[in-house]
Amino acid sequence: MKERHTLLEKEGTKSVLASLISIIIGLLVGSILILVVGAFSDNLGLGSAWEGIRLVFFGIFSTGRNAAGALTWGFNPQSIGNMLFRATPLILTGLSVAVAFKTGLFNIGAPGQYLMGTLATLAIALGIPSTALPGPLLWLLAFLGGILAGALWGCIPGLVKAFLNINEVLACIMTNWIAANLVTWFFDVNKMFQNTVENTKTSYIYKTAYGRTFVDGAWTYVDGNGVSTAKLGLDKLFPGSQVNAGILIAILFAILVYILMTKTTLGYELKACGANRHAARYAGVNDKRNIVLSMAIAGALSGAGAALYYLSGNTEFFWSTYQALPATGFNGIPVALLAANNPIAVIFTGIFMSMLNIVGLQLTKLTAYNEYITDVIISVIVYLSAFSLVIKMLLTSRRKHREAAAPAAVPPAEPAAPPVEPAESLTESAPPAEMPPVEAPPAEAPDAAAEKGGEQA
Amino acid sequence: MRTMAAENIIEMLHITKEFPGIIANDDITLQLRRGEIHALLGENGAGKSTLMSVLFGLYQPEKGVIKKNGQEVKINDPNDATALGIGMVHQHFKLIEVFTVLDNIILGAETTKAGFLQKKEARKKVEALSQRYGLKVDLDAKVEDITVGMQQRVEILKMLYRDNEILIFDEPTAVLTPQEIDELMDTMREFAKEGKSILFISHKLNEIMAVADRVTVLRKGKYIGTVDTKDTDKQSLSNMMVGRPVQLEVTKAPAQPGEPILEVKDFTVPSKAHKKNAVNNVSFQARAGEILCIAGIDGNGQTELVYGLTGLEKSSGGTVTLCGRDISHASIRHRGEQMSHIPEDRHKHGLVLDFTLEQNLVLQRFRESRFQHMGFIDQRAVREYAEGLIEQYDVRSGQGPVTRARSMSGGNQQKAIIAREVDREKPLIVAVQPTRGLDVGAIEYIHSQLVAERDKGKAVLLVSLELDEVMSLSDRILVMYEGEIVGELDPKETTVQELGLYMAGAKRMDMSRKEGEGA
């Protein structure tokens, strides 16, 4: 009864296909850009353009240049390790956005939640003397602190939405900037966190590998005394890279979110609220509580992303953030969109987005192009990821067209797709139904209108 | 009787229209004579709307021809239809709410001079038409501010303004009061007398018998036949429509009311639209073993009353006692422990359309220990329960429990809701327009379910706009008008006309004494 669709007709397949098409179009647009820039640039030329294009597609497998100056390819443990390291926070912000989406909320507040998570994590990891607590405990405390701070920050738009019915997008944008200024203020005031050991740098906070230590009657920071995420042998697998166990934690979180959303009563309630808040209320679900809870979970995930990124021990935080929000927060949106909000798929799209990052670095290192080309590619993919719904719809309608053109090709047992839908339901998928689907379209339109009428009443 | 009675103005011959997997119209022939009122009768999904959409140019048929005055014509879009003099009043009006009535009427057929609107001329023409046919409208009012009845008159004027001679009415009476329905019937007869031809889509047999000259019956996309109304009756028409003998009247034993289940005292619910209370000082009791019906024209506070009782909206005064417990301020979930609710709007409240059927069937019950352990949903228990309900209540769908609710037909969506709510076995069932938009077969089924629940000793609070339903199903009728209960009637003793007068506010009882009838 269930397995009547071919693989191609499954919703999941369509989502994956739509995302892949977005990605490929994005990469192609990037290639065209590289070609154009190369052709019109004196120091690049078409030869470099060809190299650039190959790097855009396969840069993760680039191993540099050989003696003859040609690009060499192969397994590059450093690139792959760094890709996984950078994917860690992206997966978590992606999950953050995806969870909120499932509840019908657009969490554009991930950057703010990420910043607040950063603040709490660093304040705990660097504020508590490393001699006061065993390292792993301090690490855990900082990690949980980041999660909690993100959750609390996420609650604000949630509360405002639930009780004052103020659009969460507006509240999120505002709380983002509040967070940005709050963080700058905090580190500006608390000078002790500012990195003075490596005095070539300004506006950087100590890496968490530096521990607060009492030396010669004064508190100071000593490298190696602090906390950093365990490597669990991953550094042996990918030598020369920054990878650590954070990626495993991110994957674990993705699985936990998947279980939460698909197997538990809480997930059921959250999804019901997202899919139809009225019906959820009707069924006795506390919609206000669920909105706040959903934003809290979303915030917690963003906070966890920040915590894992900065607890690595080898990442530094540029604290003067009041003019710019962290891209990792915003990039959670395309990560979630490309994954069609599926928590498991977020793992892969997060890794993909961080791969583009690595590709950008390779491009800069190996050619005269700069990494911003990959930013353009990322932006194109971001735009197209929003289109992935449209692409999915096109995939669906193309199939319908074929069926309409050749009705004989449809086996009699095949469930019939509902007739052409009215325009307003274009973005909805059209699941097949065996029952003659009510009346033809005009009969469906009244239902939509009836819904409208109901709201007015 | 009519001079040109035999002349066919529109002929739709052997029309076949297919959608992927379904033949919506299968070789259907419809001949409309000049100056006749021709009813098109059929259940939901019979293909009436598709056929009319073909005539109005919204769809192209795969086979068949359309002739006007014997000449074959091609109707590619609604503009072609308008050019041929075909106009349509859709079931759900196609009006722009923030435009004035006049603007709506002339929209798309504006008279202009050098690109500037000539509203004065248009106004004159509309006023003349409005007077001639007694179609009273306020030309300068915004559509959002006028009544549904007036909106319909605006739609009719739109057709007249375009000099249409073939008028299609798609279920025009669904939103009207009995009195307004009578007026509409008169207007339709007037049009027919002048030689305009009317196609009247309906599944209400009373109206068809009252106004139509001939009836064409469709069933499951197929042409069943065309009969003169004077040669037929309601029972045989409904048999043609459904394909089997149908019980038109609800059969039920006399009610045996027991203990009061629901007691409402001085209940008040504020309105969202205006300052007045939507429900004002309403008091009544619903007893075990009776079907109590709240009748009234749409928008007189019935919706708000139900929202207030079920907790979807906050009340501002009075008390509600359910099974002896004061639930005036209880949460929806708390109230749901003693009450089933078949909601008015099945898409807004009744179902999560993007959920599967089985998920929808446990919408309230997923928290019960039967369906979850430690917060994890027991998928197998849900599946088994859903399969049981689907079988017991004959809910049909493409893929059984895992069908998306969105892809199910309206009748089966409603059946799913009824199954869910009835199976919860609560002492009170609040059913709001449980049969709206459903066909005769489904209505028959739902009515019998509600009667069965009544006979099990439950209190059924029915809110209905359908007079037939009110009269045949209820044991006691309360009429709501402008947020107040203006009459309590016994369906065995009252008439539709009398009920109509109460509904229109022309008559009211002094409810504090429940006797005597004021003007």
The total number of residues shown for chain A amounts to 457
Residue of B nearest to A407 (CA): B20
Burial of A425 (0-12, 13-18, 19+ CB in 10 A): middle
What is the reported pLDDT for A304? 97
Average pLDDT of the residues in B489-511: 84
Q: A435 vs B399: CB contact, 8 Å cut-off?
A: no
Helices A287-310 and A110-127 pack at an angle, to 10 degrees, of 50
Q: Read off the pLDDT of residues B138-194 as tens digits, 9 standing for 90 and up.
A: 899 888 888 777 888 899 999 889 889 999 998 887 667 777 888 889 999 999 998
Closest CA to A399 of A379, A418, A377: A418
Please state which of the ranges B37-41, B279-283, B394-398 shows the lowest mean pLDDT: B394-398
Per-residue buried b or exposed e for A124-147, using 16+ beta carbons within 10 Å of the residue's own CB: bbbebebeeeeeeebbebbbbbbb
What is the reported pLDDT for A199? 63
Closest CA to A110 of A294, A253, A299: A299
Residue to mutate among A389, A410, A438, with most B CBs inside 10 A, is A438
With a threshold of 0.85, tell me whether the complex ipTM lies above it: no
pLDDT-flagged residues of chain A (< 70):
1-9, 199-200, 385-386, 388-389, 396-457
Top mean-pLDDT range of A388-397, B117-126, B351-360: B351-360
Q: A457 vs B372: CB contact, 8 Å cut-off?
A: no
The answer to whether A103 and A262 are in contact (CB under 8 A) is no
Alpha helices in A190-286 (DSSP H): 234-237, 246-263, 265-275, 277-282
Average pLDDT of the residues in B202-210: 84
Residue of A nearest to B20 (CA): A404
What residues of chain B, 437 to 456, have a C-beta less than 8 Å from chain A?
Answer: 437
Average model confidence (pLDDT) across chain B: 87
pLDDT at B94 over 60: yes
Per-residue buried b or exposed e for A224-262, using 16+ beta carbons within 10 Å of the residue's own CB: ebbbbbbbeebbeebeebbbbbbbbbbbebbeebbebbe
Rounded to a whole number of angstroms, the distance from the CA of A447 to the nearest CA of chain B is 8
Rounded to a whole number of angstroms, the distance from the CA of A166 to the nearest CA of chain B is 18
Q: A279 vs B364: CB contact, 8 Å cut-off?
A: no
Q: B20 vs A281: CB contact, 8 Å cut-off?
A: no
* Chain center to CA of B424: 26
Residues of A in contact with B49 (CB under 8 A): 439-440, 442-443
Structure tokens at A431: 């699941």
Structure tokens at A415: 């469930």
Q: CA-to-CA distance for A141 and A126, rounded, in angstroms?
A: 11
What residues does B40 pair with on adjacent strands? B201, B216
Q: CA-to-CA distance for A170 and B409, rounded, in angstroms?
A: 38
Q: CA-to-CA distance for A246 and A309, rounded, in angstroms?
A: 8
What is the reported pLDDT for B257? 86
Average pLDDT of the residues in B299-304: 87
Residue of B nearest to A402 (CA): B20
Backbone angles phi, psi at B399, to 5 degrees: -125, 25
The answer to whether A407 and B18 are in contact (CB under 8 A) is yes
* Chain center to CA of B167: 21
pLDDT at B518 over 50: no
What is the reported pLDDT for B145? 81
What is the reported pLDDT for A163? 92
Q: A431 vs B406: CB contact, 8 Å cut-off?
A: yes
What residues of chain B, 287 to 346, have a C-beta less than 8 Å from chain A?
Answer: 298-299, 303, 310, 312, 331-334, 336, 341, 343-345
Q: How many CA atoms lie within 13 A of A428 on its CB side?
A: 19
Rounded to a whole number of angstroms, the distance from the CA of A450 to the nearest CA of chain B is 8
The answer to whether B323 and B427 are in contact (CB under 8 A) is yes
The answer to whether B223 and B14 are in contact (CB under 8 A) is no
Structure tokens at A335: 């990560």
pLDDT at B119 over 50: yes
Residues of A in contact with B406 (CB under 8 A): 428, 431
Closest CA to A248 of A84, A359, A29, A403: A84
Backbone angles phi, psi at B477, to 5 degrees: -120, 130
pLDDT at B248 over 70: no
Q: A439 vs B24: CB contact, 8 Å cut-off?
A: yes
How wide is the angle at C-alpha A143 spanned by C-alphas A142 and A147, nearest 5°?
Answer: 115
Which residue of B19, B345, B367 is in closest CB contact with A451? Answer: B345
Domains defined along chain A, listed by start: 1-75+368-414 (no CATH), 79-347 (1.10.3470)
Domains defined along chain B, listed by start: 8-242 (3.40.50.300), 247-338+427-519 (3.40.50.300), 353-425 (no CATH)
Residue type, B317: G
Residue of A nearest to B354 (CA): A275
What is the reported pLDDT for B305? 94
Residue of B nearest to A273 (CA): B352
Q: A276 vs B352: CB contact, 8 Å cut-off?
A: yes
How wide is the angle at C-alpha B512 spanned by C-alphas B509 and B515, nearest 5°?
Answer: 45
Residues of B in contact with A428 (CB under 8 A): 406
What is the reported pLDDT for B4? 45
What is the reported pLDDT for A1? 40
What is the reported pLDDT for B21? 66
Structure tokens at A288: 């206000």
Percent share of chain B, pLDDT over 90: 41
What is the reported pLDDT for A5? 53
Alpha helices in A276-371 (DSSP H): 277-282, 287-310, 327-338, 343-366
pLDDT at B319 over 60: yes
Alpha-carbon torsion (B102, B103, B108, B111), positive or negative: positive
Residue of A nearest to B304 (CA): A457
Residues of B in contact with A457 (CB under 8 A): 298-299, 303, 344
Q: CA-to-CA distance for B217 and B212, rounded, in angstroms?
A: 13
pLDDT at B260 over 50: yes
Q: CA-to-CA distance for A27 and A359, rounded, in angstroms?
A: 11
What is the reported pLDDT for A407? 43
Residue with tokens 């003859």: A68
Q: Read off the pLDDT of residues B60-89 as tens digits, 9 standing for 90 and up.
A: 898 999 999 989 999 998 889 988 999 998
Q: A416 vs B376: CB contact, 8 Å cut-off?
A: no
What residues of chain B, 55 to 94, have a C-beta less than 8 Å from chain A?
Answer: 58-59, 90-92
Rounded to a whole number of angstroms, the distance from the CA of A294 to the nearest CA of chain B is 16
The predicted model scores a pTM of: 0.75
The answer to whether B282 and B309 are in contact (CB under 8 A) is no
